[in-house]
C-alpha cells in the first residue's frame, strides 16, 4: 500500500501489513515536532508534494527494498497539507518472517524516502515560514 | 516548454509554472539551470537543485524538449 | 506503558507514544506465524506468564533502554492466553526526537524481552503441542 | 518451601506448585536444582533452567529459605 493522503489511519496501515507468514511488523511513524533543528516554536507545518513523481519514487524504493529483504507486506503512506504538532505525517511499515528484516527494511524505507521523494515541508514559526533544508 | 515549480522554487519564481520563452534555447538540464540562475539568482543559493524529466530525476546532460514534463526539485524534506 | 493484557490495542499504544518533542515513533508488533522453525501447521498458541516477575523484568528493560537512549515515551505490552495465527502477541514502541534512536531502542527492547521476560509460548499442531525453546 | 512452576516445568512435574519436603535440605539454588534433577530427570533435559528468587533471576549460590518466593524459569519464549 503506497499512497499520499490527507490523514493517516494507523489501523488501515496495520491491517495492510498482516500476513499469515509474517512474525514481525515494524512500523515507523513520523510526527510533527514542536522544535526544528536549532529553532523552537513551530506552530504548524505544510507538506507539498509533486504527487505523481512522489508515488513513482515511493514505488521504486519499495521495489529496491523487496529485492534486499524478504518482505511479505509493505506500507508507505505520506500526508500532504497542513499538520499540527504531534500529528503523524508519514507511516512506513514492513512485515517479514523474522523481525530483524522488518526493522532493517522499515528503516531503509524512511531513510530513503527522506532523501529522494519529492515532498516539501514548510515550517511556520510565530514570525516567519521556512522551507526545510532549502538553504545551506 | 513549461517548468513545474514546487516548494521554495515556487516562492522564488513567484508562480507554480514557468514558461520558457520560445526564443530561449535550453536543450539540456545544464542549459536550463544556467538560464534559470540568470533569471532568478535566488535559485542558485539553494543547497541543491535537481531537475525531474518525466517525473524522474534527470542527469545534467539529459535532453529537454517541449514534449517532456519538466520540474524543478529543490531539496526535499518529507517524512 | 508496560502491561500484560489479553488483547492488544494498537491505537492505545500509539496514543501512549505521542509526545510534542517526539519526531519519530518506532513500533514493533509480533504476530503469530503459521509455521515455526522447521515445522508447519501451527493452529494456535497459548502464552503463559509469571506475571509479577514478567512485569518487573519489562520495567527493568525499560529502565536500561532509557539510560541508553533519550526516549520520550515507551510502550511494552505482551498478551497472555490463547492466540490464533495472525493475531498480535506483543507490541513494543518508543518515541524519540530522532528516528534512529527510536528504531534502535525498539529493537533492543524486543530482542531483550525475548531473552529474559518469563513468558512461555506453547504451539499447537494437529498432532502435538510444543513449549517453544524448551529443548536443545 | 514451595516452588512455583511454569511452562514445560509444570508439565514435567505434573503440577504448578511443588512443595519441598521439610526433611530435604536445599539451602541454595544449586542444591535445589540437584534435588529437582533427581526427582524429575526430565528437567535436566531442558535447554536451560533458571531459578527466580523473589521474582528476580538468582545465581547458583543464592540462598533459599521458606520466606522467599522461589520459581523455576524454563527457557522463555515470549514475543
User: pLDDT tens-digit profile of B16-38?
Assistant: 999 998 888 899 999 999 999 99
What lies within 8 Å, CB to CB, of D37 at 6+ separation is D43, D44
Are C and A touching by the rule of 3+ CB pairs within 8 Å?
yes
What lies within 8 Å, CB to CB, of C26 at 6+ separation is A26, A27, A28, A106, C93, C94, C95, C99, C102, C103, C105, C106, C107
Q: What are the distances in angstroms from CA C113 to CA A50, A107, C60, C67, C121?
A: 42, 21, 10, 17, 13
Q: Lowest-pLDDT range, B10-14, B61-65, C83-87? A: C83-87
What lies within 8 Å, CB to CB, of C17 at 6+ separation is C25, C27, C72, C73, C74, C75, C93, C94, C95
With beta carbons under 8 A apart, name residues in chain B contacting A116: 57, 76
Q: Quick check: D49 contacting C, CB < 8 Å?
A: no
Q: Quick check: A131 contacting B, CB < 8 Å?
A: yes
Q: Is the dihedral of CA D54, D60, D65, D71 positive or negative?
A: positive
Residue of D nearest to C80 (CA): D78
The whole-angstrom distance between C18's CA and the closest CA on chain D is 23
* Structure confidence at residue C126 (pLDDT): 81
Q: Please identify which residue in the block is written with the cell numbers 503506497.
A: A2
Q: Which of C87, C68, C90 has the alpha carbon at shortest distance from C79?
A: C90
Paired residues of D72 in beta bridges:
D51
D15-44 residues touching C, CB cutoff 8 A = none
Rounded mean pLDDT of A65-87? 95
Subunits in contact with chain D (3 or more CB pairs closer than 8 Å): C
pLDDT per residue rounded down to tens, chain C (136 residues): 999 999 999 999 999 999 988 889 999 999 987 765 556 677 788 999 999 999 999 999 999 999 999 999 999 999 999 998 888 999 999 999 999 999 999 999 999 999 999 999 999 888 888 999 899 8
Residue C73 CA to residue C94 CA, distance in Å, equals: 6
Q: Quick check: C107 contacting D, CB < 8 Å?
A: no
* Structure confidence at residue C38 (pLDDT): 55
Query: By three-state DSSP, how is residue B2 classified?
Result: strand
Are D and B touching by the rule of 3+ CB pairs within 8 Å?
no
pLDDT-based confidence at residue A94 (cuts at 50, 70, 90) = very high
Residue A127 or B14, more confident: B14
* Structure confidence at residue A22 (pLDDT): 87
* Structure confidence at residue A35 (pLDDT): 64
Q: Quick check: A113 contacting B, CB < 8 Å?
A: yes
Rounded mean pLDDT of A3-26? 93
* Max mean pLDDT range (A23-32, A104-113, C40-49): A104-113
DSSP annotation of A27: E
Judged against a pLDDT cut of 80, whether residue A97 lies above it is answered with: yes
Residue A98 contacts residue A38 (beta carbons within 8 Å)? no
Residue C58 or A123, more confident: C58
pTM exceeds 0.90 for this model = yes
pLDDT-based confidence at residue A40 (cuts at 50, 70, 90) = low
Specify whether domain B2-73 bears CATH 3.40.640.10: no
Rounded mean pLDDT of D62-77? 95
Mean pLDDT of chain A: 92
With beta carbons under 8 A apart, name residues in chain A contacting B45: 135
Rounded mean pLDDT of A30-38? 72
For residue A65, report the phi and psi dihedrals to the nearest 5 degrees.
-65, -40
Domain spans in chain B, listed from the N-terminal domain onward? 2-73
Which residue ranges form the domains of chain C, and what is each CATH number? 2-131 (3.90.1170.40)
Percent of chain D with pLDDT over 70: 100
Rounded mean pLDDT of A66-93? 95
Amino acid at each position: 500500500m503506497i499512497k499520499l493522503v490527507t490523514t493517516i489511519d494507523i489501523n488501515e496501515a496495520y491491517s495492510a501489513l498482516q500476513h499469515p507468514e509474517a512474525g514481525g511488523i515494524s512500523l515507523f511513524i513520523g510526527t510533527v515536532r514542536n522544535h526544528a533543528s536549532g529553532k523552537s516554536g513551530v506552530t504548524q507545518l505544510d507538506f507539498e508534494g509533486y504527487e505523481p513523481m512522489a508515488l513513482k519514487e515511493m514505488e521504486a524504493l519499495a521495489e529496491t527494498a523487496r529485492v534486499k529483504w524478504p518482505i511479505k507486506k509493505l506500507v508507505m503512506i505520506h500526508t500532504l497539507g497542513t499538520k499540527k504538532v504531534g500529528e503523524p505525517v508519514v507511516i512506513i511499515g514492513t512485515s517479514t518472517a523474522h523481525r530483524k528484516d522488518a526493522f532493517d527494511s522499515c528503516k531503509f524505507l524512511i531513510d530513503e524516502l527522506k532523501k529522494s521523494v519529492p515532498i516539501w515541508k514548510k515550517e511556520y514559526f510565530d514570525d516567519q515560514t521556512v522551507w526545510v533544508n532549502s538553504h545551506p | 516548454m513549461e517548468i513545474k515549480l514546487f516548494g521554495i522554487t515556487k516562492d522564488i519564481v513567484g508562480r507554480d509554472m514557468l514558461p520558457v520563452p520560445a526564443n530561449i534555447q535550453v536543450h539540456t538540464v545544464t542549459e536550463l539551470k544556467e538560464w534559470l540562475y540568470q533569471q532568478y539568482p535566488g535559485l542558485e543559493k539553494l543547497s541543491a537543485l535537481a531537475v525531474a524529466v518525466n517525473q524522474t530525476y534527470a542527469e545534467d546532460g539529459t535532453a529537454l524538449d517541449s514534449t517532456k514534463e519538466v520540474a524543478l526539485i529543490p531539496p526535499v524534506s518529507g517524512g
